[in-house]
Amino acid sequence: MPVQSQRDIDEVKLYEKINDFPWYVVEFVDHKANNLSPSTLLGYLFDYEIFFGWLISEAGCPCEKIKDIPLYFLENLDKKIADSFPKFLVIQHKADSKVSRKKKNSEATISRKMAALKSLFSYLQNEAEDGNQKPLLTRNVITKIKYTPTKIDIQTKADIIQHKILDSKESVESFRRFVASDYSKLPGLNKRHLSWYEDNRERDTAIISLILGSGLRVNEVATLTLGDIDWSKRRVLVKRKSKKKQSVPFSIRSKLDLEEYMNVRGTRYKPSDSETAFFLTKGGKAMTKNAMQKMVLRYSTAYGKRLSVHKLRHTFATELYKKTKDTRLVQDVLGHAEPKTTAVYTHIGNDEQNRAIDGMDGIE
């Protein structure tokens, strides 16, 4: 039996978790499954779990279980009560924990959770119908919630990103080299950590090198199979967020690191003949995106600049734009649906404003 891929794992988790939700959420997930990945839908369910849990704990819903919350309760939810939900998210209580914990959410996280909620309510009001061909919801209270996050202009956003990425070609290669060899030179590494590193050095270097040389999302890397890579053309076939398949180029440096990993993939990880997942863990199992995220964080923390996988993607995009000055090319390679998403990279490292102000003083 082949080992499950990342997509298979997400799909299993999705259809396990959906059992905890009302029938109308199940219908929503089934409807969206044609256009959204299991990973995205699973993220929606985690957001809905917070909202439905809040309905029970804070909004007066008489149900004990999320699954039992009736549709009419959403229909009749008082606007003043609904307006308090974003405030609840600012410091979100971990109601599912035996120990009382709180989690502070950023404005971006709150906006994302509200967007997921709006998607559900929009479906119930505008797409789903009952047996009489009437909308499941006629009143959509979520559209009336007032939540306005602080607006950040594109230059400010670019400045924030710049401080969180590898900001030069030299620093990109320095980090790659650290993962490929210099990590083993760290003082204080015990035998267990050194053994773990030596066992996975080629794989980890290949993953980081691929993201830095292609800008792939972590989920796209985790779902790669052996057949997705065209070695001669240096391209990988990935499934983007919208389920659109796209052939994405990767760098020569990435190819060399991927080939080095392939030289040890079979002997080191011993996958079954039917296993097609490209990146593996001990025992021949497909490496998950969570494991990849933790791996990148482990190396980057040791390197001295805490980086997420997404920051590596930002790094690639920034370097690609600096090299080409072509936003359309960067948009296509990254798989952005909207040009405005890509526009931020045109402002990273832009010191035009500073030079203009300095010029006022006669300083060039």
| pTM for this entry | 0.78
Other Cβ atoms closer than 10 A to 326: 12
Do 137 and 174 share a domain, yes or no? Answer: no
Is the separation of the CB atoms in 120 and 26 below 8 Å?
no
Do 176 and 123 share a domain, yes or no? Answer: no
Element (H, E) at 29: helix 23-32
Do 127 and 160 share a domain, yes or no? Answer: no
Do 140 and 220 share a domain, yes or no? Answer: no
Give CA–CA dist 25/273, Å, rounded: 39
What confidence tens digit (pLDDT) does each residue in 281-299 have? 988 989 999 999 999 999 9
Query: In total, how many domains does the chain have?
Result: 2
- Examine the fold and report which residue of 151, 180, 197 is the final residue of a domain before the chain moves on: 151
Do 165 and 47 share a domain, yes or no? Answer: no
Least confident of 43-57, 79-93, 307-321: 79-93
Please give the mean pLDDT across all residues of the chain.
90
Do 107 and 201 share a domain, yes or no? Answer: no
pLDDT of residue 96: 45
Closest CA to 280 of 265, 264, 267: 265
Other Cβ atoms closer than 10 A to 20: 14
**271 found inside a domain:** yes
DSSP letter for each residue of 132-182: TS-BS-S--GGGG----PPP--HHHHHHHHHTTS--SHHHHHHHHHHHHTG
Give CA–CA dist 162/157, Å, rounded: 9
Do 169 and 139 share a domain, yes or no? Answer: no
**What's the sign of the alpha-carbon dihedral 277, 279, 283, 284?**
positive
- Examine the fold and report which residue of 151, 172, 190 is the final residue of a domain before the chain moves on: 151
Would you name the residues annotated as active-site residues? 217, 241, 310, 313, 336, 345
Q: Which residue has the higher pLDDT, 362 or 176?
A: 176
pLDDT of residue 22: 96
pLDDT value at 279 more than 80: yes
Q: What angle do CA 190, 196, 200 make, to 5 degrees?
A: 145
As a whole number of Å, the CA-based R_g of the chain is 23
**30 found inside a domain:** yes
The residues that bridge with 230 in the sheet, in sequence order, are: 235
Q: What are phi and psi of 99, to 5 degrees?
A: -100, 135
**106 found inside a domain:** yes
Q: Cα separations (Å) of 217 from 16, 41, 222?
A: 25, 16, 9
pLDDT of residue 103: 65
Do 46 and 142 share a domain, yes or no? Answer: yes
What confidence tens digit (pLDDT) does each residue in 27-83 have? 999 999 888 888 889 999 999 999 999 999 999 999 999 999 999 999 999 999 999
**72 found inside a domain:** yes
The residues that bridge with 129 in the sheet, in sequence order, are: 135
**1 found inside a domain:** no
pLDDT of residue 364: 56
Q: Cα separations (Å) of 164 from 50, 158, 259, 297?
A: 29, 10, 29, 13
**Residue 170 belongs to domain with CATH number:** 1.10.443.10
Do 147 and 160 share a domain, yes or no? Answer: no
**362 found inside a domain:** no
Do 222 and 255 share a domain, yes or no? Answer: yes
DSSP letter for each residue of 101-120: -EEEPPHHHHHHHHHHHHHH
pLDDT of residue 28: 97
Do 201 and 89 share a domain, yes or no? Answer: no
Other Cβ atoms closer than 10 A to 175: 23
Q: Which residue range is the domain that position 335 belongs to?
A: 155-353
For 302, the token pair is 């040791």
pLDDT of residue 100: 42
Chain centroid to CA 351: 30
Q: Collect all residues with Cβ–Cβ distance below 8 Å to 121 and sequence separation of at least 6.
A: 74, 137, 140, 141, 142, 143
Q: What angle do CA 135, 140, 144 make, to 5 degrees?
A: 160
**60 found inside a domain:** yes
pLDDT value at 252 more than 50: yes
Do 134 and 165 share a domain, yes or no? Answer: no
- Examine the fold and report which residue of 134, 151, 168 is the final residue of a domain before the chain moves on: 151
**22 found inside a domain:** yes
Give exposure, 234-269, as e/b (b: 16+ Cβ within 10 Å). bbbebbbbeeeebebebbeebbebbebbbeebeebb
Give CA–CA dist 185/188, Å, rounded: 9
